[in-house]
Amino acid sequence: MPLNELGEFGLIERIRKLLPANPPHVVEGIGDDVAVLAHPGSDYLLATCDVQVEGVHFLPRFLAPRQLGRRVMAVNLSDLAAAGGAPLWALVSLCLPENTQPAFVEELYGGMLEELHPAEGVIVGGNVAASPCGLVIDVSLLGRVAPEHLVLRKGAREGDRILVTGFPGDSKAGFELLRRPDLLVSSSIRERLVAKHLTPSPRLWQGRALGRSGRVRAMVDVSDGLLADLGHICQASGLGAQVWVEEVPVSDAAREAARICGGDVVKWALSGGEDFELLFTAGEEDVPCIMELLRERRDVPCRVIGRMTAPHLGMEVIFPDGSRTLADPFAAGSGWDHFRKI
């Protein structure tokens, strides 16, 4: 079966089956946002990596090198946020076309440091190599979390409410505006949405606060798309889910962008991906405290968008008119997949 049929997550599952069982010091291995490793210290060590490939993840004509640096570090920080963790050390590997200017690399690092230093992380090494086919940036990030504050994908319970921060779909709207510069939207809308796509802000503080609260049972960052990432929670927790479309938060800016370009803003919110918001579950009784927690310090928007259900019910998407459909979160078109055309 070729990769365009197997898909990214099918490939990951096949790789997982090739690997031996986790030894005792591996608390969580392949399959979550981060690997979780026990070591002699009191905290768990978190490990994640993400590669950004020119022409796949970014187009250089759309963003400056400092913006690119911020972006590549932000996507790794977002994985730590989803586990309730904080960064420690980063390793950066660059595959560079031979005509790359040193100033480009300096600006790229400047952007990475802008994201990492405020979170008290540091770059400690890496590698450089020549690339005959475009720029490739690979970041490996190590972090930490207290064992009692760790949140993974697999802790959801039937009846849990599903919550999401921010406005899923804004990044997809920003991409559409970049792709179609002729669209007549206000400068304020264009700037806001394009910034959401090019330089996302990982919800690092919010992830740590949610982990420390002890009220969140499962969490993931919205990188592949809301439905796809909720599918990861369902799969890991052995549950189904209902998503109430009417409750999914969509920004006025994204609605306006969708109106002007003829896009489906609901589809953007459910399947657009690269929002790097936090998607998590909690008991219904804990929702008010969580809302207050996120509001009191940083005033982060957060909305209940559904509930976890019995596994045999699958993932239901319920529309405002009461109609419903069963969604396959890993099917082509449900979210980002490296090997399937969307």
Q: What percent of the chain has pLDDT over 70?
A: 96
Whether residue 174 has pLDDT greater than 50 = yes
Cβ atoms of 229 and 279 closer than 8 Å: yes
Q: CATH 3.90.650.10 spans which residues of the chain?
A: 153-327
d(CA 337, CA 325): 22
Instruction: Tell me the pLDDT tens digit for each residue of 215-250.
Output: 999 999 999 999 999 999 999 999 999 999 999 999
Say which CATH topology domain 153-327 has. Phosphoribosyl-aminoimidazole Synthetase; Chain A, domain 2 (3.90.650)
Q: Which architecture, in CATH terms, is 32-149?
A: 2-Layer Sandwich (3.30)
What's the rounded Cα separation, in Å, for the pair 306 and 292? 19
335-210-24 Cα angle (round to 5)? 80
Residue 60's alpha-carbon distances to 57, 67, 93, 101, 201, in angstroms, are 10, 10, 18, 14, 20
Contact 238, 281 (CB under 8 A): no
pTM of the model: 0.90
Query: Is the pLDDT confidence value at 338 over 50?
Result: no
Total residues belonging to the chain? 342
Residue environment code for 193-203, b if the CB has 16+ CB neighbours within 10 A, otherwise e: bbebbbbbebb
pLDDT of residue 339: 40
Q: Name the token pair of 291.
A: 């809302």
What pLDDT is attached to residue 61? 81
Q: What is the pLDDT of residue 11?
A: 78
More confident residue, 17 or 270: 270
Q: List, for residues 149-162, the tens digit of each pLDDT value.
A: 999 999 999 999 99
Q: CA–CA separation, 322 vs 249, rounded Å?
A: 18
Averaged pLDDT, 300-321: 94
What would the pLDDT profile of 197-206 be if each residue is shown by its tens digit? 999 999 999 9
Which one, of 209, 206, 179, 193, lies nearest residue 275 by Cα? 193
Q: Per-residue pLDDT tens for 15-58?
A: 877 877 778 888 887 877 899 999 888 999 999 999 888 887 87
- According to CATH, where is 3.30.1330.10 located in the chain? 32-149
